[in-house]
Each structure stands twice: as structure tokens, then as C-alpha cells.
């Protein structure tokens, strides 16, 4: 199993590196966890100096060369030019390889993260499991949980953390990680109403106790950069129930050299609303959570998939746009899904209807080389006779 990475279009046209600048401000952890600064990329201000081309002189320095000598010189000149062309070609290949092999800013960060997200009960866990099996990565990371919970006390809270983390014992230090989120993610709406928006979830090492000095230092630097916190080996604590801001989370990881992919799963609104009863039995709170979640999804689509479009989606135009995308997909080649800048929109209904064909379409969009096709069952059927209970 492998993931094919495509080099950016302007890979060979620019060799200027980018510097990251930050503007510190006071941390604000409630009700929204916000970065202290937004990374700003700026090119180097000083252009590189270019050395003058070396002049090569052969014939004008020879006194009446013979014909064989001239032929030898022409041959040498030909070899020299060919060598320059080969060297130039190899230089481009070297730049290309280095770009693809670029390491993240922090060593504890994966090189690639595929985050699957959507409103609660939208099929996000099913899609996460598809990637887990297709890429053979081991269990996917569940939200902000660590791969392995390291708390050692006998408290109820510690035991609960271990219970939650056990089914999702993802592989630490893996280059490729699958991660699952829902909007919102975590407890239920009755015990944790009005979930705050969290801008960034740190790598899994920071969600557990750290004993390795390198992990402690890197988690400290990241938490200080975002919220002005010093973890000092302690696990980062997030709200028990929260909404993840897709846009800020992706930009943060992108700026630190991680190929952050977001797969946004959409499901029929009536069915997903009914299915969310198990997470939130209060219809008013459920509607409010859905409103915030949809605003986050629409913002991500406008920022990445539709970034060059003059007209942006709104909550009113979104449903019509999604229906149009589904209709247009029937006319497109199979490798086309609404996607751009590593943000992909997936329709749960299309996945159920097209089955393996749609899975292959998803693989092609993300550059995944896999023959794995899951067993696909229609989970919508049991909700079709239920009415939407909005009050």
C-alpha cells in the first residue's frame, strides 16, 4: 500500500525558501481556543547573487590547429555541453526529490495526516476505517486522544481515558496517520452543552504524559506558540466536547511541513439529524451544534475547494451546491471529486450507491494505491421511515 505524492506545479520555478513569522498576543482559551498568532509566510528579501558565466575559449587560443585537432575539439565541446545539460537535469531532479522528502518542522509530527471529519453520525468512522485498512496504518487516531494513554493512577478519569484510547491504539511516530473527528467531537450535548471551537489539535504525543526530553520540548513549543502554555511533560487537556475548526487546523499543520488532508463526509441532512439523537437528545441544542458545524464545513470549502471562485457558499446556498456537485459527478471522469488543496468532499449517499466504484474514485483523488474495497451496507435504510423532529 502506498500514497503517491504529486509535486506542486511551480516546483521547478522557485527555489526561494519561506520564513515563518508570528505575532504574539494574549492567549484566549474560552470559549474558543485560538492561536496566539497566524503563521505568515514571506519570501527572502535578499535575492541570491548570480556568478558571471565562465567564458570557454578553445579555437582562438590555438595556432592553426590541424583537422584532427579540430574534430577532437568539437567532440570535447559536444561532451562538455552534454554534461552541462545532464547536470542541469539532475539538479532539477534533486530539487524535486528534496521538495517531496521535506521533513516537518517538528520531528514528532507525521509527514502526512488524513483527517476524516463531518457532522456527527455522517459516516465519518466508516470512511476512517476504509483508509485505515487501505493503507494498513493500524488503528486510526480518535480525535484528540493519544495513541497510548500513559496515565498511571487509579482515578476514575484515568481509567476512562484508557478505556477510550484502547480501541484506537494508533502507531506512534508513523509517517502516515489516519485521524477521525466529528462536529462536534466528544461527550454528549446534555453533559457538555455549547461546545467551544478549538482551532488546533496537537500531535498525539502532546495528548499524553511525555517523559522523553525531545517530546517535552516540542510539545512545550507548540502549546506556547498557540496558547501561551507550558505543558512541561503534562498531557494537553481539551474540552470534553468541542468543534474543530478545519481551516485553522489545516493551515497550522501545512505551515509546519505536514501534508494535512481533510476528507469532509456529508450525509443526507434529515437522516444525519435523526441519527444524531444518540449524541444529543435535546433538539434545540442539536440544531445549534449543527449550525456551528455547518459553518465550519462551509468555511473550509470556501477557503480551499472554492478559493478562486468569486461567489462563496452560504448556509442557504450550500444544499443546492452539494446537489449540483453530485449531479455533475455523473458526467465527470471517475477520478473527479469536489476537491482542492488536499480538502475532499465525500457524499455518504454516493458511497452507498456506487460502492467500490466510488471508493476507487476516492483513492484516485487522494493518490492512494490500494485494491482494498470494504463491505458497504446501507445504514440509511433504518432512518427512512422516521420523521425529522425539529421543534
Written as tens digits, the pLDDT of the chain (391 aa) is 544 444 433 333 332 333 333 344 433 444 455 544 433 333 333 333 334 343 333 333 334 555 566 666 666 666 666 555 544 444 333 323 333 346 899 999 999 999 999 999 899 999 999 999 999 999 999 999 999 887 777 888 888 878 877 888 899 889 999 999 999 999 889 989 999 999 999 999 999 999 999 999 999 999 999 999 999 999 999 999 999 999 999 999 999 999 999 999 999 888 888 888 878 889 999 999 999 999 999 999 999 999 888 888 888 888 778 777 766 655 554 446 889 999 999 999 999 999 999 999 999 999 999 999 999 988 887 777 654 444 4
Looking at the DSSP bridge assignments, the partners of residue 243 are: 197
Instruction: For 106-136, give the DSSP string.
Output: STTS-SEEEEEE-BTTSSHHHHHHHHHHHHT
**pLDDT confidence of residue 219:** 98
**pLDDT confidence of residue 348:** 93
CA distances from 71 to 64, 81, 213, 328 (A): 13, 15, 66, 64
Does residue 297 lie in a domain region?
yes
Does residue 363 lie in a domain region?
yes
**pLDDT confidence of residue 71:** 63
**pLDDT confidence of residue 7:** 42
257: domain range?
A: 114-121+241-391
**pLDDT confidence of residue 97:** 31
**pLDDT confidence of residue 153:** 79
**pLDDT confidence of residue 114:** 98
**pLDDT confidence of residue 303:** 96
Q: What is the pTM of this model?
A: 0.72
**pLDDT confidence of residue 70:** 62
Does residue 84 lie in a domain region?
no
To 5 degrees, how large is the angle CA 313–CA 325–CA 342? 75
Distance between CA 2 and CA 367 in Å, rounded? 9
Q: How many domains does the chain have?
A: 1
Residue 262 near residue 300 (C-beta atoms within 8 A): yes
**pLDDT confidence of residue 66:** 58
Does residue 40 lie in a domain region?
no
Distance between CA 323 and CA 319 in Å, rounded? 6
**pLDDT confidence of residue 30:** 40
CA distances from 378 to 209, 319, 351, 363 (A): 41, 22, 9, 21
Residues 6+ apart with CB under 8 A from 71: none
**pLDDT confidence of residue 257:** 96
Does residue 133 lie in a domain region?
no
3-state secondary structure of 266: strand
CA distances from 232 to 123, 207, 220 (A): 37, 12, 6
Does residue 176 lie in a domain region?
no
Does residue 308 lie in a domain region?
yes
How is residue 247 written as a grid cell?
Answer: 481551516
| Rg of the chain (C-alpha set) | 26
**pLDDT confidence of residue 269:** 82
CA distances from 292 to 120, 238, 242, 285 (A): 12, 18, 11, 11
Does residue 388 lie in a domain region?
yes
**pLDDT confidence of residue 373:** 96
- Going by C-alpha positions, the residue among 264, 317, 260, 322 that lies closest to residue 293 is 264
Burial of 285 (0-12, 13-18, 19+ CB in 10 A): middle
Amino acid at each position: 500500500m502506498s500514497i503517491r505524492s504529486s509535486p506542486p506545479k511551480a516546483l521547478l520555478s522557485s527555489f526561494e525558501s519561506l520564513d515563518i513569522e508570528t505575532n504574539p498576543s494574549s492567549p484566549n482559551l474560552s470559549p474558543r481556543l485560538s492561536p496566539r498568532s497566524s503563521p505568515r509566510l514571506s519570501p527572502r528579501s535578499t535575492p541570491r547573487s548570480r556568478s558571471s558565466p565562465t567564458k570557454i575559449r578553445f579555437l582562438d587560443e590555438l595556432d592553426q590547429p590541424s583537422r584532427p585537432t579540430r574534430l577532437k575539439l568539437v567532440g570535447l565541446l559536444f561532451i562538455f555541453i552534454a554534461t552541462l545539460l545532464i547536470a542541469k537535469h539532475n539538479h532539477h531532479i534533486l530539487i524535486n526529490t528534496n521538495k517531496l522528502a521535506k521533513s516537518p518542522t517538528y520531528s514528532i509530527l507525521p509527514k502526512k495526516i488524513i483527517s476524516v471529519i463531518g457532522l456527527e453520525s455522517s459516516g465519518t468512522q466508516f470512511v476512517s476505517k476504509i483508509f485505515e485498512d487501505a493503507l494498513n496504518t493500524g488503528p486510526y487516531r480518535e480525535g484528540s486522544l493519544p495513541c497510548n494513554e500513559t496515565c498511571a493512577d487509579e482515578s476514575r478519569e484515568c481509567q476512562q481515558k484508557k478505556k477510550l484510547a484502547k480501541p484506537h491504539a494508533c502507531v506512534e511516530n508513523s509517517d502516515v496517520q489516519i485521524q477521525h473527528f466529528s462536529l462536534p467531537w466528544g461527550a454528549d450535548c446534555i453533559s457538555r452543552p455549547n461546545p467551544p471551537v478549538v482551532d488546533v489539535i496537537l500531535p498525539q504525543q502532546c495528548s499524553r504524559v511525555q517523559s522523553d526530553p525531545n517530546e517535552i520540548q516540542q510539545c512545550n513549543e507548540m502549546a506556547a506558540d498557540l496558547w501561551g502554555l507550558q505543558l512541561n511533560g503534562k498531557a494537553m487537556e481539551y474540552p470534553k466536547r468541542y468543534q474543530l475548526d478545519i481551516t485553522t487546523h489545516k493551515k497550522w499543520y501545512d505551515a509546519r511541513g505536514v501534508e494535512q488532508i481533510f476528507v469532509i463526509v456529508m450525509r443526507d441532512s434529515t437522516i444525519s439529524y435523526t441519527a444524531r439523537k444518540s449524541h444529543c437528545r435535546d433538539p434545540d441544542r442539536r440544531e445549534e451544534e449543527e449550525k456551528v458545524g455547518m459553518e465550519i464545513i462551509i468555511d473550509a470549502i470556501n477557503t480551499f475547494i472554492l478559493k478562486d471562485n468569486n461567489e462563496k457558499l452560504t448556509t442557504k446556498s450550500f444544499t443546492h451546491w452539494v446537489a449540483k456537485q453530485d449531479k455533475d459527478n455523473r458526467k465527470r471522469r471517475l477520478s473527479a471529486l469536489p476537491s482542492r488543496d488536499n480538502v475532499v468532499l465525500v457524499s455518504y449517499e454516493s458511497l452507498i450507491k456506487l460502492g467500490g466504484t466510488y471508493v476507487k474514485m476516492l483513492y484516485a483523488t487522494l493518490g492512494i494505491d490500494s485494491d482494498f474495497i470494504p463491505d458497504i451496507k446501507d445504514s440509511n435504510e433504518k432512518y427512512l421511515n422516521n420523521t425529522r423532529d425539529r421543534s
